[in-house]
């Protein structure tokens, strides 16, 4: 066992005192907001509680502690992640434009305060504005895991719990507190002209008044938003269920009716069952293409799937298709698929095999296609010269595009057709 690993496992888990850890990373375990205090505690080997106290004291110095916390939140990586919030914002042009636009508006307002002589307001507004912009950056640039943690933290706030509580005592406490804050804020605003520091009093009164309105109405707003979100989710689910029911009625039930009508024809029943299975699988994995059977294939996978579908629909023989890789369907690839289609048609018509195996592999420098059946087989050398199915439709077609076709067949054992086509890496 690695002794260093054992030493690390005995270290502090929640930012407690211990050996300093480098580099600086925001904490994940035991963090209250962004994990900054826990990360700083781990970095210097001190108590996380002491770091939180320091940040709280710095917050009283004109909001400096809050600004520093948000800056570290944005610039320091979270433990277990490889990018900071700032780097995500910079790499995403849209998010960067949003953040710059909001910062420009806030900066214009702060400059306006200074121009109007409200310097005292600006002394408090500058750090608070920086914090607000930083929090916006955090929300826009946080990773998916951190965003989930932030949402859980917001949902667990006392305001949210009061809003969802049915107890009359909690409602009474909330309403009384909100009304008290509103009255205090109105009183402070009404006495602004009688105070020596009018700007500071106006700002403080506005904050108290806004907090009172939040305490009174924020739970109701949150409850309304949750109801709207739930209603929308249920409506979407109902629409999805209706779409599934419609597709099942239009396809599966009709196919079952056809199977009942052709119960005396096992071959037709098997063909209908395979057709319905393929359509249902295609809808489950890609509902947008359900029922689109006449669209021209654009990729090798789509072209191979069309071979499978056409052979099963036309000849009632099961085709087991396996495709490894994919690429655009250029002229050379289309020629190989066409040659493979001809080989599959020959097997379906003459091999008397219950199924045909088709394997397609797409590599950077080579396309390969194998068609195999375990039917009656035939003598390749005994094929009459006037029969052009193998020579023209398969062999010569592959040669024209620089490929090769190999046909091997044994009487009573089946037939193997191997198609290979070299290609350039740019064609993949």
Q: State pLDDT tens for residues 344-359.
A: 988 888 888 888 999 9
Question: CA 275, 277, 279, 282 torsion: positive or negative?
Answer: negative
Any idea which of 3-7, 22-26, 158-162, 313-317 has the lowest mean pLDDT?
A: 3-7
Q: Which of 31-35, 220-224, 233-237, 414-418 has the highest average model confidence (pLDDT)?
A: 414-418
Question: Residue 370: which pLDDT band, with cuts at 50, 70 and 90?
Answer: very high
pLDDT of residue 416: 92
- State the pLDDT at residue 132: 76
Is residue 356 classed exposed, middle or buried when 0-12, 13-18 and 19+ CB atoms within 10 A define those classes? buried
Name the domain boundary from 132, 156, 180: 156
| Count of structural domains, the chain | 2
What pLDDT, on a 0 to 100 scale, did the predictor assign at position 221? Answer: 73
Is residue 257 in some structural domain? no
Give the whole-number percent of the chain exceeding pLDDT 70: 69
| Residue 245, Cβ density class (10 Å: 0-12 exposed, 13-18 middle, ≥19 buried) | exposed
Please write down the long-range contacts of 23-26, taking CB distance under 8 Å and 24 or more positions apart. Answer: 24/76, 25/76, 25/77, 25/78, 25/79, 26/72, 26/73, 26/76, 26/77, 26/78, 26/79
Could you give phi then psi for residue 37, rounded to 5 degrees? -60, -45
pLDDT class of 247 with cuts at 50, 70, 90: low
Task: Confirm whether 192 is domain-assigned.
Answer: no
CA distances in angstroms from 207 to 10, 189, 199, 204, 212, listed in the order given: 46, 10, 12, 5, 9
Q: Is the pLDDT score of 40 beyond 70?
A: yes
Residue 368 pLDDT exceeds 90: yes
What integer pLDDT is reported at residue 193 of this predicted model? Answer: 60
What is the torsional sign of CA 240, 245, 250, 253?
A: positive
What percentage of the chain has pLDDT greater than the value 90? 9
Looking at 156, 177, 203, the residue that finishes a domain is 156
Question: Does 42 fall in a domain?
Answer: yes
Segment 151-167 shows an average pLDDT of: 55
For residue 353, being part of any structural domain is answered with yes
Average pLDDT over residues 58-64: 72
Residue 387 banded pLDDT, cuts 50, 70, 90: low
Q: Establish if 253 belongs to a structural domain.
A: no
State yes or no: pLDDT of 155 exceeds 50: yes
Range of the structural domain that residue 302 is part of: 296-427
In a domain, 65, yes or no: yes
Q: Residue 317 sits in a domain of what CATH number?
A: 3.30.565.10
Q: Is the pLDDT of residue 380 over 70?
A: yes
Lowest mean pLDDT among 354-368, 372-386, 392-406: 372-386
H runs (alpha helix) in 45-192: 48-59, 64-75, 85-91, 93-115, 119-141, 144-155, 158-164, 168-190
Q: Does residue 48 sit within a domain? A: yes
Report pLDDT digits (tens) over 122-139.
555 667 777 778 878 887
Q: What is the mean pLDDT of residues 319-342?
A: 90
Answer with the one of 130, 156, 182 that is the final residue of a domain. Answer: 156
In the predicted model, what is the mean pLDDT of residues 211-232? 75
Would you say residue 391 lies in a domain? yes
Please state, in angstroms and rounded to a whole number, the distance separating the CA atoms of residues 308 and 316: 11
The helix/strand/coil state of 346 is: helix
The alpha helices in 165-253, defined as continuous H runs, are: 168-190, 198-247
Average of per-residue pLDDT values in the chain: 75
Give mean pLDDT, residues 294-316: 81
pLDDT per position as a tens digit, 164-202: 445 556 666 666 766 776 767 676 666 666 655 566 666
Q: What is the mean pLDDT of residues 13-25?
A: 66
């Amino acid at each position: 066992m690695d002794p260093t690993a054992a030493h690390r496992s005995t270290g502090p888990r929640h930012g407690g005192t211990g050996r300093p850890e480098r580099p600086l990373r925001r904490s994940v375990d035991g963090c209250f907001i962004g994990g900054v205090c826990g990360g700083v505690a781990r970095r210097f080997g001190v108590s996380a509680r002491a770091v939180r106290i320091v940040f709280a004291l710095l917050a009283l110095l004109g909001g400096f502690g809050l600004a520093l916390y948000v800056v570290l939140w944005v610039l320091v990586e979270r433990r277990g992640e490889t990018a900071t919030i700032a780097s995500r914002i910079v790499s995403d042009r849209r998010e960067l434009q949003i953040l710059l636009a909001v910062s420009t508006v806030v900066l214009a307002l702060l400059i306006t305060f200074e121009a109007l002589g409200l310097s005292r307001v600006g002394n408090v507004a500058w750090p608070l504005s920086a914090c607000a912009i930083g929090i916006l950056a955090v929300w826009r640039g946080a990773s998916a895991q951190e965003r989930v943690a932030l949402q859980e933290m917001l949902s667990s706030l006392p305001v949210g719990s009061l809003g969802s509580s049915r107890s009359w005592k909690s409602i009474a406490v909330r309403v009384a507190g909100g009304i008290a804050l509103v009255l205090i804020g109105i009183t402070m605003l009404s006495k602004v002209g009688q105070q020596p520091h009018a700007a500071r009093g106006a700002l403080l009164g506005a904050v108290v008044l806004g907090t009172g309105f939040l305490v009174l109405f924020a739970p109701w707003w949150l409850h309304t938003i949750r109801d709207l979100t739930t209603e929308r989710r249920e409506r979407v689910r109902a629409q999805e269920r209706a779409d599934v029911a419609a597709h099942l009625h239009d396809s599966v039930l009709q196919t079952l009716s056809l199977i009942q009508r052709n119960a005396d024809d096992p071959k037709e029943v098997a063909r209908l069952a395979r057709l319905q299975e393929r359509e249902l699988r295609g809808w489950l994995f890609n509902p947008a293409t359900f029922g689109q059977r006449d669209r021209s294939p654009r990729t090798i996978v789509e072209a191979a799937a069309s071979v499978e579908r056409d052979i099963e629909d036309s000849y009632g023989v099961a085709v087991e298709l396996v495709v490894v890789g994919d690429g655009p369907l250029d002229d050379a690839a289309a020629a190989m698929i066409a040659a493979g289609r001809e080989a599959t048609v020959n097997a379906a018509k003459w091999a008397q095999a219950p199924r045909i195996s088709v394997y397609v592999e797409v590599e950077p420098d080579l396309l390969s296609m194998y068609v195999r059946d375990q039917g009656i087989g035939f003598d390749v050398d005994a094929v009459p010269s006037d029969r052009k199915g193998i020579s023209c439709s398969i062999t010569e077609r592959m040669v024209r595009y620089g490929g090769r076709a190999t046909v091997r067949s044994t009487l009573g054992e089946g037939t193997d057709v191997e198609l290979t086509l070299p290609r350039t890496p740019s064609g993949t």
